[in-house]
Homo-oligomer: A and B are copies of this chain.
């Protein structure tokens, strides 16, 4: 497979939002669309990193900071290799997300707020985690027993209850193309 690896700095598309907000769904569709366009990209998913690189970390506040710090460093390496990077992480703390932004070049960090009301996420509950969080079986659960600090000025704000996945992808890709031109 021959793909285009651009010589200019690549973008990091960072999707943040509650568990069940739709981050992974959007991230996977975006990765497929970029691949179809011949744009070399890599998707980092929070759940997957917790099985490997971050398998030693739990869900305490300190471990959540470290989870996002390490992920940001991996994103830097992937960007440096010439790939567009898509990262789907709850990343509940604003300061952690801003720290990644600060380590990149201006315009390189595209923060996408996947904004789904807690009630909707809890109703979907695709992994049954909200139920466990409400019963106390899971501690430190974002939105229930741990904080989520929404982005104040994200590059892209997707209200999933009003926007289709396709339209969300189109918005992100337009933003990438605009930034590149």
Q: How far is the CA of A86 from the CA of B73 in the complex (A)?
A: 18
Contact present for B3 and A44 (CB under 8 Å): no
Q: List the B residue with the shortest CB-CB distance to A85.
A: B81
Which residues of B have CB within 8 Å of A81?
A: 40, 42, 78, 81, 83
How many copies of this chain are found per oligomer? 2
How large, as a class, is the contact surface on chain A?
20 to 34
Contact present for A40 and B78 (CB under 8 Å): no
Q: How far is the CA of A78 from the CA of B77 in the complex (A)?
A: 9
Is A180 among interface residues, defined by CB-CB distance under 8 A?
no
Picked from B5, B40, B42, B53, the residue with its CB within 8 Å of the CB of A70 is B53
CB distance from A15 to the nearest CB of B (A): 17
Picked from B5, B44, B73, B76, the residue with its CB within 8 Å of the CB of A40 is B5
Chain A: residues with CB nearer than 8 A to chain B? 1-7, 40, 42, 44, 52-53, 56, 66, 70, 73-74, 76-78, 80-83
Q: Please, could you name 23 A-B residue pairs with CB atoms under 8 Å apart, sorted by A?
A: A1-B5, A1-B6, A1-B7, A2-B4, A3-B3, A3-B5, A5-B40, A40-B81, A40-B82, A42-B77, A42-B80, A42-B81, A52-B76, A53-B70, A53-B73, A53-B74, A53-B77, A56-B66, A70-B70, A74-B77, A78-B78, A78-B81, A81-B83
